[in-house]
Amino acid sequence: MTDDTQQSRSLLAGERVYHVPTRPPRDYAGVMRDTRIAERAMRQHSIDRVISTGAQIALSALAPASTRRIPFTYIESATRVTGISSTGRIMERVPWVSRFVQYPHAENAKWRYAISVFDGFDVEPVEGIGPLERAVVTVGGNGDFGFRRLIDGARHALPSEVKTLWQVGSTDVSELDIAGVPSLPSADLARALAEADVVIGHAGTGTALAALAAGKVPILAPRSIAHGEHIDGHQRELSSFLSDRGLAIVREPDALTRTDLDSARRWRATLRHDLSAVEL
């Protein structure tokens, strides 16, 4: 069983699940092969609507939904703060797809705005902070790109006595004196985040959301194209947005300091309960 399968089963326990392989960015040939899985799901069940939160898998469901005239809603990923993803640009050419962005400034004739996943969080100050004993350092689940700069920066900033979970993805840490794990099930990561005094991560949507859901204001480091850490600069845009909202502290990996650790610990993320339902 792969880590991705374990995480899916944890997140969707009790639900009927059709597992789709993890695809690298822009693997459209693989995405089209996955159409068979979406076709089987729609053939076996009565589907009233297809909703995608903005990933390549949306393309796998598009063709079988189209042939059955099933209404299709595509919500662009919260990762895309100022631009539209490659999948989103394809969806723009399909007139019967309802399209939403997660940022009001991105709304235009082709895209509507309703709500963002980050609208559900607020922050409040913490009265007094205890000793720094536990930390989580995570580079996310992207298996195609390592992020050694973040690992090195976190090692420099964290005191050696702090008990740290190192989730390193595909980053090679074999010569370092840390016990890194490529990935771990979502339930285990959520538990570690909740127990941590501070969270340091790459500026990915999943990492930011997981930290905020655990009540932490994370320290985020955006990946860099120049360093071969990603295919575009969307993490820098996302981290800037989160910083402006006070939902994250943003630093370059080699600029992390112990002062940053204390600054992050002086804030707590909270869930908002005053949001109204939206019609998609």
pLDDT at 75: 95
Listed residue (148, 123, 138) closest to 263, CA to CA: 123
Listed residue (272, 231, 181) closest to 79, CA to CA: 231
pLDDT in tens, the chain (280 residues): 333 444 444 556 778 888 888 777 778 888 889 999 999 999 999 999 999 987 788 999 999 999 999 999 999 999 889 889 889 999 999 999 999 999 999 999 999 998 899 999 999 999 989 999 999 999 987 667 889 999 999 999 999 999 999 999 988 999 999 999 998 888 899 999 999 999 999 999 999 999 999 999 999 999 988 877 777 768 899 999 999 999 999 999 999 999 999 999 999 999 998 888 888 7
- What does each C-alpha distance from 233 to 26, 162, 237 come to in angstroms? 15, 32, 7
How many domains would you assign to the chain?
A: 2
Listed residue (63, 42, 75, 210) closest to 140, CA to CA: 210
The 10 Å Cβ neighbour count of residue 69 is 8
CATH number assigned to the domain comprising residue 92? 3.40.50
Asked if residue 100 is part of any domain, the answer here is: yes
One domain, residues 223 and 107: no
Which domain, by its residues, includes 25? 21-114
pLDDT at 83: 85
One domain, residues 75 and 167: no
One domain, residues 135 and 52: no
State phi, psi for 154 to the nearest 5 degrees. Answer: -70, -40
Asked if residue 149 is part of any domain, the answer here is: yes
Listed residue (8, 22, 16) closest to 44, CA to CA: 16
Asked if residue 212 is part of any domain, the answer here is: yes
Asked if residue 241 is part of any domain, the answer here is: yes
Asked if residue 6 is part of any domain, the answer here is: no
Asked if residue 12 is part of any domain, the answer here is: no
pLDDT at 251: 97
The residues near 139 (Cβ < 8 Å, ≥ 6 apart) are 146, 147, 150, 151, 167, 168, 169, 171, 201, 202
One domain, residues 192 and 78: no
